[in-house]
Amino acid sequence: MFSRRTTLKMLLSSAAGLAVSNGNVTARAQGNRAGDLLVLRPGQGSPVAIAEEFMGLGYEMSSVVPLGLLSGDNHTYVALVRGLSERGVIRVGGIVADYTRFDPKGLAIAEPHNTVITGSALEQFAGFMKRTGWRAIWSLNFAQGTVQDAVAEAQAVSAALGAHLLAFELGNEVENYGQGNRPFRTGSWDYAAYLKEFREWSAAIRKAVPSAHFAAPDTASSVEWAEQMSKDANGDVQLLTTHYYRAEQTHGSVELLATPDPRLQEVLTRMRAASTQSRIPWRLCETNSFSGGGRPGVSDAMIGALWTLDTMLLLASYGCSGINLETGVNQLGFLSSYSPIRNDKQGNASPGIPYYGMLAFTEARRGCTHVLPAELDATGSHVTSYVLGEPGKARSLVVINRDTSREAAVDTRALKAGELHPLRLIAGKGEDAAPVTFGEYPVKDDGHWTPAWIDAIHDGVLRVPAMSAVVARTKESHRA
């Protein structure tokens, strides 16, 4: 296991001294004055069910190839994945999917523009999926491959993964195939042209693999194509998918991760409507802070963990069936700074700072079936808050404070949740401190994490230090 403490301490420092704000989520407030008490109370609306396989990670296709990485024998990696959820979804695809071919007996290659997945690599990945208990979305090369290649690969993947295969994707960010200096499609490439090819390919694959399910259209940002697919699916699509990044890497900043994105609000609203009308679940199958691997010093700092936690809760509150946070080596060939799970060239795995945001989400939703409507009454703070539980019963509260200098105090008594037991997500202090802890402890080198519950809060007021978050559970639901 390689050491990460020094590097992560340096990255955490980048968040200091920058003003942040937040926006319209399940419960929010903006602009807090020192000493203000924010009041969290039940809100209007209906509880929103949390999908069982909401948790997810995303990889470029090349990540399947390295010996010992996504392997059932990589015990630390398996522990890190299972520590997030007993059930979840791994999506393998990305831009590299457009440059990947399957050669059962060939030479394994993991390069951005030349990846070859062999039978041995596929079997290794199958072992990893079986050990984690998760399911996979597998991308086929719709950009440069042939339908015959896709059929052969789909048969092999289905045979290897079995019940651990959730769905196939045809291509990656398909609305862009007619763009660039070397487009994958010439002539008129629009949704109609895409749908025609999709139907041809999916029909051929389903003929060879009758149990095959499909996730589509897997767009970079086009909600329009997803809306059209929801109307045209005709039983051929089991999952609507699109991607989202807050911005490009070159434009990444702490401010962007700490402020609401109107575009994301629009995406969530429209995707929820398309899903509701079509009765096809939808998934944000590729996402993270900034495209291109994230912004070093921002994506991998404390603000990255808080953004991750808030984004996951926000999506859950909109009825999204899942989120796949990108991690590992990206399409440019280097380890992404936003990675929840980091790895070195030997396959050794360790949690990145965003992992702690995912871990906090895991603890918040443990034993909870729904996100409950809630409102945060105040004249502002850089705070977001969520309530989880079951209809009519709050079991878990989350408060996220992205103010860099001021504590937030949140009065929860209106929820009538009773005694609360908090777990704090906070940056470490001092030379020998862990860069980030959750529940007083960092994740161990073997990938396991055990919290220490601090003293219960009897007055119903959660105090959340600057640039930190708290997950608080009710007395009867917290883990001893």
Looking at the structure, tell me whether residues 291 and 221 fall in a common domain. yes
Q: In this structure, are 155 and 59 located in the same domain?
A: yes
The CATH number given to whatever domain includes residue 427 is 2.60.40.1180
d(CA 339, CA 357): 12
Task: Report d(CA 174, CA 194) in Å as an integer.
Answer: 8
Q: Which of 308, 337, 361 is the last residue of a domain?
A: 361
- Shared domain for 225 and 311, answered yes or no, is yes
Burial annotation 365-398 (CB, 10 A radius, 16+ → b, else e): bbbbbbbbbbbbebebbbbbbbbbbeeebbbbbb
39 and 187 both lie in a single domain: no
> For residues 99 and 423, what is the distance between their CA atoms, to the nearest angstrom?
44
Sign for the pseudo-dihedral over CA of 244, 248, 251, 257: positive
Q: Tell me the residue type at 450.
A: T
Domain span holding position 436 = 5-48+366-474
Q: Are residues 128 and 174 in the same domain?
A: yes
In a domain, 479, yes or no: no
Tens-digit pLDDT string for the chain (480 aa): 334 333 333 333 333 333 232 333 356 544 344 457 899 999 999 999 999 999 999 999 999 999 999 999 999 999 999 999 999 999 999 999 999 999 999 999 999 999 999 999 999 999 999 999 999 999 999 999 999 999 999 999 999 999 999 999 999 999 999 999 999 999 899 999 999 999 999 999 999 999 999 999 999 999 999 999 999 999 999 999 999 999 999 999 999 999 889 999 999 999 999 999 999 999 999 999 999 999 999 999 999 999 999 999 999 999 999 999 999 999 999 999 999 999 999 999 999 999 999 999 999 999 999 999 999 875 445 899 999 999 999 999 999 999 888 999 999 999 998 889 999 999 988 777 789 999 999 999 999 999 987 778 888 899 999 999 999 999 766 654
pTM, two decimals, is 0.92
Domain boundary residue, one of 331, 361, 391: 361
At 130, the amino acid letter reads K
Q: If DSSP codes are grouped into helix, strand and coil, which group holds residue 152?
A: helix
Whether residues 349 and 418 fall in one domain:
no
CB count in 10 Å sphere of residue 241: 28
Q: Would residue 268 count as lying in a domain? A: yes
Does one domain contain both 288 and 193? yes
Please state the φ and ψ torsions of residue 122, each to the nearest 5 degrees: -65, -40
Judgement on whether residues 37 and 87 belong to the same structural domain of the protein: no
Whether the CB-CB separation of 62 and 99 falls below 8 Å is answered with no
Tokens of 389: 């539980």
Same domain, 93 and 191: yes
Shared domain check, 24 and 66: no
SS3 300: coil
In 238-359, which ranges are E strands? 239-248, 282-291, 323-326, 341-343, 349-351
3-state class (DSSP) for residue 299: coil
| Of the residues 361, 394, 411, the one at which a domain ends | 361
Q: Which amino acid is at 65?
A: V
Q: How many domains does the chain have?
A: 2
Q: Is 480 a domain residue?
A: no
Exposure pattern of 418-427 as b/e (b: 16+ CB <10 Å)? Answer: eebbbbbbbb
**Shared domain check, 167 and 266:** yes
CATH of the domain at 179: 3.20.20.80
Q: Are 15 and 153 contained in the same domain?
A: no
